Amino acid sequence: MIRVNDLYKTIGQVKALNGLSFHADNGTITGLLGPNGAGKTTCLRTLLGLLKADSGSASIDGFDIARQTQQARQQIGLFPDPFGLYERLTPREYVQFFAELNGMSSQAAKLATAQVLSLLRMDEIADRRCQGFSQGQRMKTALAQAIVHKPTNIVLDEPTRGLDVMSTRVLRELLLTLKQQGHCVLFSSHVMQEVAALCDQVVVMAKGRVVAQGSPAELCARTGKNSLEDAFITLIGTDEGIAA
C-alpha cells in the first residue's frame, strides 16, 4: 500500500512535483502514466527517500518515508531504470546480495535466490557474470533482485523500455502473479499498450501533478473516448512525449 500526499519538489528551476497525490492499493497493479518530463521518476525517487520533498508526505505500508526511512524501504522492492547491475557479479550473487541487504539471513537468502531464479527460468545464466547479458537477461536479473525478499510493494520504473516481446511477456505474467498474491504493484510508464493491458488503476500525471486516477475503462468513459490513448491525450491536453 503506497500513499502519496500533496508532494512538492523543485529541482533547480523546474517544479518537478507540484502537489502530487495518489494511492496504490494491495492486490492491484497501478500504472503511473505520463509524458516524458511529467515527474514520474522524481515521484519514485521521492517515494524511496532518495529525494526529499519540499513539502507533502509519502508512506509505504503506513511507514512515513521521511521519518521511518529504513522500515519504509524494507517494504519495497525496486526495479530501477537503468537496472544498476554489477557487471562482475553473477545473477545468483547479485540477487542474494540484495536479499541479505533486506534483512534475510544468508541461508534464507540463498534459498530465496534459488527460488526466484528458477521462477524466472534463469537457471542457465544464474552463474554467469552479468557482463554481456542481453537486455532481456538484464531485465530478469533486475526483476529477481526486486522481488527476492518478497516485499509487499513492488515499484518499477519504466520496466518495459527496450524489451522484446518475449521479455515483456515474462514481465507481464510475473506482475499479474504478484497481483494475485496480493502485492501492491506500482509502475511508471509512458507506453499506452502496456498500461492498458496490465493496469487496474491508472494515475495520469502531467507537469508534476495528477490529472486523473481510475481504471482504464473509467478514464475512457470520463473523457468519452474509445481508447486509453485518446482519453490520455484529452486528459493532459497534448500528445507530446507519448509512445503509442
Residues that bind other proteins (CB under 8 A): 11-12, 45, 48-52, 69-71, 73-74, 76, 78, 80, 82-89, 93, 97-98, 100-103, 105-106, 129, 145
Instruction: Please give the backbone phi and psi of residue 152, each rounded to the nearest 5 degrees, phi first.
Output: -70, -35
Nearer to other proteins, 3 or 45 (CB): 45
Min CB(23)–other proteins separation in Å: 20
Nearer to other proteins, 48 or 176 (CB): 48
Min CB(134)–other proteins separation in Å: 18
Nearer to other proteins, 8 or 97 (CB): 97
Min CB(234)–other proteins separation in Å: 34
Q: Give per-residue burial for 62-82: e unless 16+ CB within 10 Å, then b.
A: ebbbeeeeeebbbbbbbbbbe
Instruction: Specify whether the CB–CB gap between 229 and 208 falls below 8 A.
Output: no
Instruction: Specify whether the CB–CB gap between 20 and 45 falls below 8 A.
Output: no
Min CB(42)–other proteins separation in Å: 10
Min CB(66)–other proteins separation in Å: 12
In angstroms, how far is CA 6 from the centroid of its own chain? Answer: 20
How distant, in Å, are the alpha carbons of 21, 76, 100, 201, 242 from that of 52? 16, 17, 26, 26, 28
Nearer to other proteins, 89 or 114 (CB): 89
Nearer to other proteins, 159 or 216 (CB): 159
Provide CB contacts within 8 A for 49, sequence distance 6+. 65, 66, 69, 72, 73
Instruction: Specify whether the CB–CB gap between 205 and 220 falls below 8 A.
Output: no
The per-residue DSSP string of 12-48 comes to: TTEEEEEEEEEEE-TT-EEEEE--TTSSHHHHHHHHT
Nearer to other proteins, 14 or 197 (CB): 14
Min CB(91)–other proteins separation in Å: 14
Whether cis (ω within 30° of 0) applies to the bond prior to 35 is: no
